[in-house]
Amino acid sequence: QKEVEQDPGPLSVPEGAIVSLNCTYSNSAFQYFMWYRQYSRKGPELLMYTYSSGNKEDGRFTAQVDKSSKYISLFIRDSQPSDSATYLCAMSGVDSSYKLIFGSGTRLLVRP
């Protein structure tokens, strides 16, 4: 079993929909949680960064971390076709903050 599990999708939604992306993990030592967006043939781009549990909002994006359930989420409001990409969750522990453990990514398609 992988340390970080992520549904590969693809997830197809109409423009303007609210998108919910999720990851579960097994390592209780993880303290830093990130969401990256990756377009085809590009490197991952950091979208959201949170420490420990709680919510963080940035524009149309909201990241939630529930450490008791070992579950993290990314919500995208008013989704746009330009949001079509693969979304990767990543996490790390305090003692190894340099070593990100990634999920396999969820492919999102926002239909005009």
Partner 1 sequence: DTGVSQNPRHKITKRGQNVTFRCDPISEHNRLYWYRQTLGQGPEFLTYFQNEAQLEKSRLLSDRFSAERPKGSFSTLEIQRTEQGDSAMYLCASSFARGEGTNEKLFFGSGTQLSVL
Name the site residues for partner 1 (rule: CB under 8 A). Answer: 4, 6, 8, 32, 34, 36, 41-46, 49, 51, 88, 90, 94-95, 97-105
Are the beta carbons of 23 and 72 closer than 8 angstroms? yes
Query: Minimum CB separation from partner 1 for residue 12, in Å?
Result: 18
Task: Pick between residue 3 and residue 78 the one whose CB is nearest to partner 1.
Answer: 3
Task: Pick between residue 43 and residue 112 the one whose CB is nearest to partner 1.
Answer: 43
**Conformation bin of residue 105: beta by default, left when phi > 0, alpha when psi is -120 to 50:** left
Query: Minimum CB separation from partner 1 for residue 68, in Å?
Result: 21
Nearest residue to 50 via CA among 73, 29, 20: 73
Q: What is the token pair recorded at 5?
A: 């599990």
Query: Minimum CB separation from partner 1 for residue 14, in Å?
Result: 25
- Element at 18 (helix H, strand E): none
Are the beta carbons of 93 and 67 closer than 8 angstroms? no
Task: Pick between residue 27 and residue 77 the one whose CB is nearest to partner 1.
Answer: 27
Query: Minimum CB separation from partner 1 for residue 75, in Å?
Result: 20
